[in-house]
Amino acid sequence: MARISPRSYDVRMMFAMGVYVAVFLAVWPQVRGTADPFVKTVCALVPVLPLLYVIWCIAQRVLHSDELEQRTHLIGIGVAAAAVALVSIVAGFLAAAGLLSLDTTSVVLVWIFPLLLLVYGAARSYAARRYGSLGCEDERLPLHQRLLYSAAMTAFMALIVFLRSGAPDVVAVVLAICAAQLLCAAWFGFKRRRERVTPP
């Protein structure tokens, strides 16, 4: 089977994460608003569907990667597994000691998968750079474009939270994340433009 190009992989992942955010925001309020256990179960598990597609994309990418890519995937997965194990054991001990409520524990569990993806991506990218991937970055979607897309999703989340609950502290946190993403996008966009004007 043909290899998945890095650009195509980025587009698929961004699409899947966009669908995940949209589905989560659309369905999640129904979970607490219904008493029917069947509807509750379906609504709680629907956001898992786009994540299954994300897992399928990652599996396809790893299966069709060459030997050097497999090495960098292994480094990424190893570091991500260690980070997630650490976070879950810390959260587990705190919950067992009664310092984290059941509600907080469930929030921690929901963030395990994004944390895994984030650390995996960062560690894999670091390992790939050590093997000289810097000269091959034109194969991927530019980082500032990916960050802009992510910032747009975060802003959309802030808007929905504001319209639904109006909780100012939650909206402020989400907007701060959005602002950080925009700043990073501006920085990487500026850096990319400067490198194009004066190649290293």
Site of tokens 């921690």: 108
Burial 48-63 (b: 16+ CB within 10 A, else e): eebbebbeebbeebee
CB of 66 to another protein, least distance (A): 4
Contact between 191 and another protein by CB under 8 A: the answer reads no
Contact between 131 and another protein by CB under 8 A: the answer reads yes
Residue-wise DSSP of the chain: -PPPPHHHHHHHHHHHHHHHHHHHHHHHHHHHH---HHHHHHHHHTTHHHHHHHHHHHHHHHHT--HHHHHHHHHHHHHHHHHHHHHHHHHHHHHHTTSS-HHHHHHHHHHHHHHHHHHHHHHHHHHHHHTTGGGGGGGSPPHHHHHHHHHHHHHHHHHHHHHHT--HHHHHHHHHHHHHHHHHHHHHHHHHHHHHHS--
Contact between 67 and another protein by CB under 8 A: the answer reads yes
CB of 62 to another protein, least distance (A): 13
Contact between 183 and another protein by CB under 8 A: the answer reads no
Contact between 132 and another protein by CB under 8 A: the answer reads yes
Contacting residue, 37, 98, 135, 166, with another protein by CB under 8 A: 135
Contact between 88 and another protein by CB under 8 A: the answer reads no
Scan residues 25-64 and list those touching another protein (CB under 8 A): none
- Of 12-20, 127-135, 172-180, 181-189, the window that binds another protein (rule: CB under 8 A) is 127-135
Contact between 69 and another protein by CB under 8 A: the answer reads yes
Q: Locate 147 and state its tokens.
A: 């960050």
Scan residues 143-162 and list those touching another protein (CB under 8 A): none
Please give the span between the terminal C-alpha atoms of the chain, in angstroms, as a whole number. 36
Contacting residue, 30, 60, 65, 105, with another protein by CB under 8 A: 65
Contact between 82 and another protein by CB under 8 A: the answer reads no
Contacting residue, 130, 164, 191, 193, with another protein by CB under 8 A: 130
Contacting residue, 52, 99, 136, 180, with another protein by CB under 8 A: 136
Q: Which residues bind another protein (CB under 8 A)?
A: 3, 65-69, 128, 130-133, 135-136, 139
